[in-house]
Amino acid sequence: MLEPQTNPAELLADRPPAPVEATQSGYAFLKNYSFLAVAYIATRFIWFLGIIYMARTLGVQRFGDMNFAQAIVTYFTLITHLGLMTFGTRAIACAPDSIKEHVRRILPIRLVLAAAAFTLLAILTLLLPLSNGVRGITLLFGLSLFSGAAILDWAFKGMEWMGIVGVIEILRLAPFVLLVVLWVEQPDHLYRIPLFWFFGSAAAAIFGVGTLLYRFGSFRLTIDGGYVRQTLRQALPLGLAFIMVQVYYLIDTLMLGLLKGTIAVGLYSAAYRMITFPQGLGGWYFEAFFPSIARLHKHQPDRLPRLLEISLRLTLMVVIPLAIVGIYTASPMIQKFYGPEYGSAALPLQILIWAIGIELIGMNFGYTLMACNREKQYLLGVSMAAVASILLNLILIPKYGPIGAAWARAGAECLLAGAFFFQCGRVVYVELFKPILFPCLGGVLMVICYQLMDSLLVGTIVGLAGYGLLVVTTFGAGFGQFKIFLKGKL
Query: Could you tell me the residue ranges of all domains in the chain?
Result: 21-223, 261-490
Please report which residue ranges of 22-98 form alpha helices under DSSP H: 26-81, 84-94
59 Cβ contact list (under 8 Å, min separation 6):
187, 341
Q: How much of the chain is in helix, strand and coil states, percent to nearest 5?
A: 85, 0, 15
Mean local confidence (pLDDT), 198-226: 88
* Interatomic CA distance for residues 175 and 382, integer angstroms: 34
Query: Do residues 360 and 352 touch, judged by C-beta distance below 8 A?
Result: no
Between CA 262 and CA 65 the distance in angstroms is 6
What is the per-residue pLDDT for 20?
A: 41
- pLDDT value for 294: 67
Q: Which of 3-12, 18-27, 149-158 has the highest mean pLDDT?
A: 149-158
32 pLDDT more than 70: no
Q: What is the structure's pLDDT at 12?
A: 40
> What's the mean per-residue pLDDT of the chain?
79
**For residue 189, how many C-alpha atoms fall within 13 Å in the half-sphere facing its CB?**
16
pLDDT range class, residue 193, cuts 50, 70, 90: very high
d(CA 95, CA 103): 13
* Residue 18 in this model has a pLDDT that exceeds 50: no
Tell me the mean pLDDT in the region 5-15. 40
Each residue of 90-121: pLDDT tens digit? Answer: 777 767 788 888 888 888 989 999 999 999 99
Q: Is the pLDDT of residue 195 over 80?
A: yes
Q: What is the mean pLDDT of residues 460-477?
A: 72
pTM over 0.85: no
Residue range 41-46: mean pLDDT, rounded: 77
Q: Would the pLDDT of 485 be above 60?
A: no
Residue 22 in this model has a pLDDT that exceeds 60: no
**Of residues 212, 234, 303, 202, the one with CA closest to residue 83:** 234
Residue of 39 and 480 predicted with greater confidence:
39
